[in-house]
Amino acid sequence: MIGAGPGDPKLITVGGAEALKKADVVVYDRLAHPKLLDYARMDAERVYVGKKADQHAMTQDGINALLADRAAAGKTVARLKGGDPFVFGRGGEEAEYLRERDIPFVVLPGVTSAIAAPAYAGIPVTHRDAASSFAVITGHERNDGRESGTRLPGEAEGRRRWDKIAYAADTLLFLMGVENLGEIVTQLMANGRAAETPVALVRWGTWAGQQETLVGSLGDIVERVRVAKFKAPAVTIVGEVVKLREKIRWFDIGPLAGKRVIVTRAREQASEFAEMLRERGAEPIEFPLISIVPPADGYAALDNALVRIGSYDWICFVSAPAVRAFCERLTAAGKDARAFAGAKLAAVGPATAEALRGFGLQPDFLPQIATGAGLGAELPGEVFGKNVLLPRAAEGEDALAEALIAREATVDAVTAYANVVDGAGAEEVRERLAEGTVDVVTFTSSSTVKNFVTALGEAPLPTSVKIACIGPSTAKTATELLGRAPEILADEPTMAGLLAALEGFHARQG
Residues contributing to the site for ligand SAH (CB under 6 A): 6-7, 31, 81-84, 87-89, 112-114, 117, 175-176, 202-207, 232-235
Q: At what angle do helices 446-456 and 426-435 cross, to 10 degrees?
A: 80
Task: Give me the catalytic one of 8, 29, 170, 422.
Answer: 29
As measured in angstroms, the least distance from the Cβ of 376 to ligand SAH is 51
- The residue sitting closest to ligand SAH, measured at its beta carbon, is 83
Task: Give me the catalytic one of 176, 259, 344, 422.
Answer: 176
As measured in angstroms, the least distance from the Cβ of 74 to ligand SAH is 28
- All residues at 6 or more sequence positions from 413 whose CB lies less than 8 Å from its CB, including other chains: 390, 392, 396, 401
As measured in angstroms, the least distance from the Cβ of 120 to ligand SAH is 8
**Cα–Cα–Cα angle for 386, 389, 390, rounded to 5 degrees:** 130
What is the C-alpha to C-alpha distance for residues 89 and 345, in angstroms, rounded to an integer?
56
- Contact of 283 with 502, CB cutoff 8 Å: no
Residue 172 parent element (H or E): strand 171-175
Nearer to ligand SAH among residue 114 and residue 282 (C-beta)? 114
What is the C-alpha to C-alpha distance for residues 360 and 324, in angstroms, rounded to an integer?
12
**Cα–Cα–Cα angle for 453, 457, 463, rounded to 5 degrees:** 70
- 51 included as an active-site residue: yes
Find the length of the chain: 510
- 495 included as an active-site residue: no
Task: Give me the catalytic one of 22, 51, 164, 231.
Answer: 51
Q: What is the phi-psi region of residue 254: left when phi exceeds 0, alpha when psi lies from -120 to 50, beta otherwise?
A: left
Nearer to ligand SAH among residue 31 and residue 262 (C-beta)? 31
- 176 included as an active-site residue: yes
Q: Would you tell me how many other CB atoms lie within 10 Å of the CB of residue 127? A: 17
Nearer to ligand SAH among residue 117 and residue 322 (C-beta)? 117
What is the C-alpha to C-alpha distance for residues 81 and 50, in angstroms, rounded to an integer?
10
What is the C-alpha to C-alpha distance for residues 61 and 110, in angstroms, rounded to an integer?
23
As measured in angstroms, the least distance from the Cβ of 251 to ligand SAH is 12
Closest to 204 in 3D by CA, of 235, 227, 177: 235
As measured in angstroms, the least distance from the Cβ of 246 to ligand SAH is 20
Nearer to ligand SAH among residue 233 and residue 493 (C-beta)? 233
Residue 314 parent element (H or E): strand 314-317
Please provide the distance, in angstroms rounded to a whole number, between the alpha carbons at the two ends of the chain: 44
As measured in angstroms, the least distance from the Cβ of 53 to ligand SAH is 17
Q: What does the buried/exposed string (b/e) look like for 66-101 if buried means 16 or more CB atoms within 10 Å of the residue's CB? A: bbbebbeeeeebbbbbbbbbbbbbebbbbbebbeee
As measured in angstroms, the least distance from the Cβ of 68 to ligand SAH is 21
C-alpha dihedral sign at 9, 14, 18, 23:
negative
Residue 81 parent element (H or E): strand 77-81
Residue 92 parent element (H or E): helix 91-100
Strand extents, DSSP E, 65-185: 77-81, 134-138, 171-175
As measured in angstroms, the least distance from the Cβ of 5 to ligand SAH is 8
Nearer to ligand SAH among residue 92 and residue 504 (C-beta)? 92
- Kindly list the catalytic residues: 29, 51, 176
